[in-house]
Amino acid sequence: MKLTKGQLAVIVCAAVIIIDQILKIWVKTSFYWGEDYEIFSWFHLRFIQNNGMAFGMELGSKIFLTLFRIVAVSVLTWYLVRLCRNPEISKGYVVCISLITAGAAGNIVDCVCYGEIFTNPMPTDVATFVPWGEGYSTVFQGMVVDMFYFPLVSFIWPDWMPFVGGDRFSFFDPVFNFADAAITVGIIILIFFYYKNLTGVPEEKSKENSKTECKSIKD
């Protein structure tokens, strides 16, 4: 069965949000805050929570960030609907915008709901579900759950190195979640394969213009 762009967008968004929330709820109710489980030397599951944006970054107040996310997702959803109705837009571009939209929406769920429905105990206790309103915070004040940690490179600088001698270097330090990954993948694919759409030139028109130019050169 051939999917329409609208159906594809719904499937991608639903899949990202569902997978993201399943992982977050599992980690939050199975790991204590700060717990680290090594799967490989370069891949850990590490439960942390943050008030900020993707990859644990912090910017402005919590309520401001949550409201900003809601506005951003609303605009992206409106844009996505318009893309699905445009016959000149490719399905690949729709998938990219769907990944970004769903990733942002996934983190909104944490901010809006988690403070109301989860406890937030000190280590080594794990969080539990509670009735709405009995959680660790209020609506819009929930913390975002992160769990993926990739310490790909780690070493101690030699003592003779100026400024950094004896310090530990680690790459990649940020801990992130599935929603962050969806946003990142969507942006990377967008930049490398659909950059012409960002300039307002539909992919199909761009191809037609290229063919016309080539034909003119041959003639």
Per-residue pLDDT tens digits of the chain, which is 219 residues long: 788 999 999 999 999 999 999 999 999 999 999 999 999 989 999 999 987 655 555 555 778 888 888 999 999 999 999 999 999 899 999 999 999 999 999 999 999 999 999 999 999 999 999 999 999 999 989 999 999 999 888 888 888 888 888 888 877 789 999 999 999 999 999 999 987 776 665 555 545 544 444 454 455
Give the integer Cα–Cα distance in Å for 40 and 209: 49
Give the integer Cα–Cα distance in Å for 93 and 197: 8
218 domain-assigned? no
Cα pseudo-dihedral 191, 42, 147, 24, rounded to 10: 90
Catalytic residue positions? 146, 180
215 domain-assigned? no
CB atoms within 10 A of CB 74: 12
68 domain-assigned? yes
In contact, 151 and 172? CB cutoff 8 Å? yes
Closest to 148 (Cα-Cα) out of 43, 51, 20, 30: 43
10 domain-assigned? yes
Domain span including residue 101: 5-208
44 domain-assigned? yes
Provide the domain count of the chain: 1
What's the burial of 181, exposed, middle or buried (CB within 10 Å: 0-12/13-18/19+)?
middle
214 domain-assigned? no
216 domain-assigned? no
Closest to 196 (Cα-Cα) out of 92, 100, 99: 92
Q: What is the pLDDT of residue 68?
A: 87
110 domain-assigned? yes
Q: Which two tokens stand for residue 180?
A: 């962050």
In contact, 70 and 59? CB cutoff 8 Å? no
Residue 43, preceding peptide bond in cis (omega within 30° of 0): no
The one-letter amino acid code at 101 reads: T
Closest to 69 (Cα-Cα) out of 136, 142, 137: 142
Give the integer Cα–Cα distance in Å for 99 and 66: 19
